[in-house]
């Protein structure tokens, strides 16, 4: 038995390496984050684990199963966000921005670093590396009107008091500043679905689609964002990225870019590219 266990422990990493090498060969698929081509994306999770969220046709969560780049480990939502940002020249329009980035994804962090930011703070409620600060998005420890950009990419669905989180992001942004607010939602639901009685990881997995989610947003997500004062700016894949081969890049064309702009005071000049 011990010999079998030893053989298995040697064979498994070798099989994994061979599988990755196979996936990385060929050129059918392309990752715009690391700019490589390969034979297949890796699976993120099993679709059958999300029966309810699948039936609700969740946008921005679980829509693309085989979505992980075998090289840089970007997911479909990471790559899609980069496409939107590049097509809009969103970062080129910012001059030495002050940036607050929650739950920082490596590929977006690299893109932000290219802007030569005047300040770049990476934040997480559960930081896993020294360069990421522990910051609660519902109590952002910075003064009003500080940041040009706050990236909140797939964070709100984890935060129990998301209204407070949105109002804190709004407060911390400069007038004219932009928040990236990607989050999964169902266009089939009019109202966000959440109940404090759904508390265990098993229940959340079954009903919200992921064990650490606390709701499923419905169409009212956008009114919630506007409700704290933001001007909402939604960009559609079909309008902004119609030339993108979604199968080759493995992104979900149903996923809009969700930007929220803190309006300038009345009579103030609006910076180019930051209007709603
Ligand atoms: Zn990649």
Q: What are the φ/ψ torsions at residue 151 (nearest 5 degrees)? A: -100, 120
Average confidence score pLDDT of the chain = 87
How many A from CA of 75 to the centre of ligand 1?
8
Does 208 have pLDDT greater than 90?
A: no
Distance, CA of 61 to CA of 189 (rounded, Å): 15
How many A from CA of 53 to the centre of ligand 1?
26
How many A from CA of 38 to the centre of ligand 1?
9
How many A from CA of 84 to the centre of ligand 1?
16
Which position has the higher pLDDT, 58 or 191? 191
Q: Please tell me the class of the 26-261 domain.
A: alpha beta
Q: Cα separations (Å) of 173 from 36, 169, 205, 267?
A: 35, 6, 33, 19
Does 276 have pLDDT greater than 50?
A: no
Does 56 have pLDDT greater than 60?
A: yes
Asked whether 251 and 80 are in contact (CB, 8 A), the reply is yes
Bridge-partner residues for 180, per DSSP? 151, 259
Q: What percent of the chain has pLDDT over 90?
A: 62
How many A from CA of 37 to the centre of ligand 1?
8
What is the pLDDT at residue 205? 84
pTM for this entry: 0.84
How many A from CA of 68 to the centre of ligand 1?
8
How many A from CA of 76 to the centre of ligand 1?
10
The whole-number average pLDDT for the span 139-168 is: 97
Q: At 208, is the secondary structure helix, strand, or coil?
A: helix
How many A from CA of 165 to the centre of ligand 1?
31
What is the pLDDT at residue 4? 67
Which range has the worst mean pLDDT, 41-45, 110-114, 230-234?
Answer: 41-45
Model confidence band, residue 1 (pLDDT cutoffs 50, 70, 90): low
How many A from CA of 81 to the centre of ligand 1?
13
How many A from CA of 200 to the centre of ligand 1?
34
How many A from CA of 55 to the centre of ligand 1?
29
């Amino acid at each position: 038995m011990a010999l079998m266990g030893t053989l298995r422990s040697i064979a498994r990493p070798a099989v994994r390496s061979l599988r990755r090498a196979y996936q990385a060969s060929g050129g059918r698929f392309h990752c715009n984050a690391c700019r490589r081509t390969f034979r297949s994306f890796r699976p993120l999770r099993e679709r059958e684990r999300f029966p309810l969220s699948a039936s609700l046709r969740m946008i921005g969560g679980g829509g693309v199963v085989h979505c992980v780049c075998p090289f840089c480990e970007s997911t479909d939502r990471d790559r899609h966000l980069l496409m939107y940002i590049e097509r809009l020249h969103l970062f080129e329009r910012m001059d030495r921005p002050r940036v607050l980035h929650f739950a920082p994804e490596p590929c977006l962090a690299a893109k932000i670093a290219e802007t030569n930011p005047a300040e770049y703070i990476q934040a997480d409620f559960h930081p896993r590396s020294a360069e990421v600060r522990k910051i609660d998005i519902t109590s952002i420890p910075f003064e009003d009107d500080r940041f040009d950009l706050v990236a909140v990419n797939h964070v709100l669905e984890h935060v129990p008091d998301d209204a407070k989180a949105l109002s804190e992001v709004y407060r911390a942004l400069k007038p004219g500043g932009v928040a990236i607010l990607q989050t999964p939602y169902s266009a089939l639901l009019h109202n966000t679905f959440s109940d404090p009685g759904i508390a265990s990881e098993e229940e959340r997995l079954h009903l919200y689609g992921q064990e650490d989610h606390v709701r499923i947003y419905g169409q009212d997500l956008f009114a919630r964002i506007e409700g704290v004062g933001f001007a909402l700016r939604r960009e559609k894949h079909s309008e902004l990225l119609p030339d993108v081969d979604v199968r080759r890049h493995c992104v979900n064309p149903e996923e809009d870019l969700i930007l929220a702009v803190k309006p300038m005071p009345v009579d103030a000049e609006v910076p180019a590219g930051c209007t709603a």
